[in-house]
Amino acid sequence: MELITNFIKIRGTFCIEEIPKPTGFIIFGASGDLTARKLIPSLFGLFEKNLLPSNFYIIGAARSALNDESFRQKMLNSIIEKNKSDYISNVKLFLEKCHYISGDYDDPSLYKTLKQKLEALDKKAKTKMSHVFYLATPPTVYRKIISHLGLAKLTKENTKLVENVRVVVEKPYGHDLQSAMELDKTLKNVLNERQIYRIDHYLGKETVQNILLFRFANSIFEPIWNRNYIEDIQITVAESIGIEHRAGYYEKAGLLRDMFQNHMLQMLSLVAMEPPISFDADRVRDEKVKLLRAIRPFDREMIKKDIIRAQYDRGIINGREVPAYREEEGVKPDSNIETFVAAKIMIDNWRWNGVPFYLRAGKRLAKKVSKIVIRFKRVPHSMFKPLTPDDLEPNVLMFHVQPDEGISLRILAKHPGPKLCMDSLEMDFQYSDIVKGELPEAYERLLLDCMLGDQTLFIRDDDMEVSWSLFTPILKTWEKDLDGKESSPLLFYPAGSWGPEKSEEILKRDGREWIKI
């Protein structure tokens, strides 16, 4: 296969970016890993790009006994680690905007101290502020924090000092449908839906955002984006790493909860949804929910036939032997938690009737890669005798989500030489071709949108409810049927592979195979 090198000329570039109104950003769990690796470096990235308002501040809140200075030093280290190849010019000015308070999340005095700190900083700003509360904590304390924020009246909007209040909630949003609805009820006791930002960082990735523009800003694709021209759609999210000291979380969650209920379904909905009437947040999310409602529910027979679950065994990754999941620290030696899932999903609507969507995700796979693959139908007739339609490879469109973000299109074309000489060529676009340096961190986009009050890339309550309703029956079936006699049994695959061989059977049964990625 040849690669066509693109020399990309950008014409008519049309970029719109807003700067938020004055904002106070409050992070619960500020001493944790998410804050250090993602949140503070992303906020600093926005600051460097002049996308934060002149009046802003950050307050970290956590149990760890830090003060302003030790918190700033910790955040400086994380910024330097993230930007080690770049000269950091404004870091001192940024860190002066960072503050810290400590306390227990179930202690009312923490919220009293926080309220006093907010009032002092808001008065100093001499303008009405928006407040963003980010819950970068374990999910077990979400309800405590939300309840205390309500009791302290910190969620009240349109006061003398505060204009808007928004709350960002990280995944996992619940453990199943019932727990997700209970959490939502707690939030709705003190917040309205407009204030709730359920975050999924995959929606902040450039290539995922590009799906909407690719589909609906180009007239050449929409007419063929349906069952008449598309053979199947495949979505793969593969990681070469294991659970990385997260056994406590993973033993309770598993791969289906960790990836399918959120990331995988969100990408599927963007690929398959109908055109929204506008780029307004609720109009986009209306169509996503309609699509999710059209997914065929999994009955017991479908769970047995169309879903494969597996767990990684010992294997070789990058030339070194790695342990089995059951040998990881903190994992039960007889654990039945899945680290790999492959599934066939059908959508019962006019556009996609009969088109299978094949999804797979897993830990300790051959390489780290996330791709969405659209495989088009083969030509119905071959005029190129003696070649038959089966000899002609179908066109394939790929969205490369990570790494090497971009889009590629595989076509057939004449190869120089004999009159009938055909080859498969790949037209490949990568963001690295046109963007100097690293792409913006996904959290930058999402944090900025939250401060702007734009919920387009966040999960709405009905979206969350439908996605959990699809997968909760599968989880309940697995929990009851540990030996897999009545559902899909737990299989094993060597680390460094593409999962269990049986995951190929889902496609082979339909006369298809996974596209090589």
Specify the DSSP class assigned to residue 298.
Answer: -
CA count, 13 A, side-chain hemisphere, 443: 16
According to the model, what pLDDT value does residue 433 have? 78
The verdict on 213 and 152 lying in the same domain is: no
pLDDT at 15 over 90: no
The verdict on 405 and 358 lying in the same domain is: yes
* pLDDT tens profile 157-216: 888 888 899 999 998 888 999 999 999 999 999 999 999 999 999 898 888 988 998 999
**Is residue 416 a part of any domain in this protein?**
yes
Most confidently predicted of 7-11, 147-151, 421-425? 147-151
Determine the average pLDDT of the residues in 450-454: 94
The verdict on 408 and 469 lying in the same domain is: yes
Q: Looking at 3-7, 139-143, 156-160, 360-364, which range is the least confident one? A: 3-7
The verdict on 136 and 273 lying in the same domain is: no
Share of the chain above pLDDT 90, in %: 67
**Is residue 134 a part of any domain in this protein?**
yes
pLDDT at 12 over 60: no
According to the model, what pLDDT value does residue 84 have? 60
pLDDT band at 417 (very low <50, low <70, confident <90, very high): low
Q: Strand (E) positions, 353-405?
A: 356-362, 369-376, 396-402
Last residue of one domain, picked from the residues 112, 147, 170: 170
What are the residues whose beta carbons fall under 8 Å from the beta carbon of 383, sequence distance 6 or more? none
The verdict on 328 and 471 lying in the same domain is: yes
pLDDT at 1 over 50: no
Q: Report helix angle 442-452 to 40-48, nearest 10.
A: 80
Residue 370: helix, strand or coil by DSSP?
strand
pLDDT at 515 over 60: yes
Q: Which of 263, 381, 400, 415 is catalytic?
A: 263
- Quote the number of domains for the chain: 2
**Is residue 499 a part of any domain in this protein?**
yes
According to the model, what pLDDT value does residue 416 have? 73
**Is residue 183 a part of any domain in this protein?**
no
According to the model, what pLDDT value does residue 7 have? 40
pLDDT at 133 over 50: yes
d(CA 116, CA 490): 53
Write out the H or E segment, with its range, that includes residue 443: helix 442-452
- Whether 263 is a known active-site residue: answer yes
pLDDT at 3 over 60: no
Last residue of one domain, picked from the residues 170, 191, 214: 170
pLDDT at 4 over 70: no
Tell me how far CA of residue 13 lies from CA of 8, 10, 16, 444, in angstroms. 12, 6, 10, 21
* Three-point CA angle 366, 472, 266, nearest 5°: 55
**Is residue 178 a part of any domain in this protein?**
no
What is the chain's mean pLDDT, rounded? Answer: 89
Quick count: other Cβ atoms within 10 Å of Cβ 378? 16
* Three-point CA angle 103, 147, 152, nearest 5°: 70
* Of 391 and 44, more confident: 44
According to the model, what pLDDT value does residue 104 have? 95
pLDDT at 81 over 90: no
The verdict on 324 and 219 lying in the same domain is: yes
pLDDT band at 279 (very low <50, low <70, confident <90, very high): confident
Q: List, in sequence order, the alpha helices (H) in 229-280.
A: 247-255, 265-272
d(CA 325, CA 331): 7
**Is residue 16 a part of any domain in this protein?**
no
What residue type is 395 in one-letter code? Answer: N
Structure tokens at 285: 């999310």
**Is residue 384 a part of any domain in this protein?**
yes
Complete DSSP assignment for 389-445:
GGGSPPPEEEEEEESS-EEEEEEEEEPSSSSS-EEEEEEEEEGGGTS-SPPPPHHHH
d(CA 110, CA 103): 5
The verdict on 165 and 76 lying in the same domain is: yes
d(CA 198, CA 497): 33
The verdict on 276 and 395 lying in the same domain is: yes
The verdict on 442 and 377 lying in the same domain is: yes
pLDDT at 491 over 90: yes
Determine the average pLDDT of the residues in 115-131: 92
* pLDDT tens profile 310-347: 999 999 998 899 999 999 999 999 999 999 999 999 99
The verdict on 252 and 373 lying in the same domain is: yes
Residue 132: helix, strand or coil by DSSP?
strand
**Is residue 385 a part of any domain in this protein?**
yes
According to the model, what pLDDT value does residue 2 have? 42
Any idea how long the chain is? 517
pLDDT at 437 over 70: no
Give the bridge partners for 356, in sequence order.
Answer: 346
d(CA 341, CA 159): 48
Report the candidate in 324, 343, 303 with the shortest Cα–Cα distance to residue 478.
Answer: 303
* Three-point CA angle 295, 300, 305, nearest 5°: 80
Structure tokens at 236: 């793969």
* CATH code of residue 469: 3.30.360.10
Determine the average pLDDT of the residues in 93-103: 94
Q: Looking at 150-159, 432-441, 492-501, which range is the least confident one? A: 432-441
* pLDDT tens profile 458-468: 999 999 999 99
The verdict on 275 and 219 lying in the same domain is: yes
Share of the chain above pLDDT 70, in %: 94
Report the candidate in 8, 6, 9 with the shortest Cα–Cα distance to residue 428.
Answer: 6
* CATH code of residue 30: 3.40.50.720
According to the model, what pLDDT value does residue 320 have? 92
What are the residues whose beta carbons fall under 8 Å from the beta carbon of 41, sequence distance 6 or more? 78, 79, 82, 83, 441
Determine the average pLDDT of the residues in 283-301: 95
d(CA 397, CA 392): 16
According to the model, what pLDDT value does residue 383 have? 74
The verdict on 48 and 109 lying in the same domain is: yes
Q: Strand (E) positions, 277-395?
A: 307-313, 315-317, 320-322, 340-346, 356-362, 369-376
Q: Can you give the residue range of the structural domain that contains 342?
A: 203-480+488-508
d(CA 432, CA 400): 12
**Can you give the three-state secondary structure of 6-59, one letter per residue?**
CCCCCCCCCCCCCCCCCEEEEEECCCCHHHHHHHHHHHHHHHHCCCCCCCEEEE
d(CA 397, CA 373): 6
According to the model, what pLDDT value does residue 10 have? 44
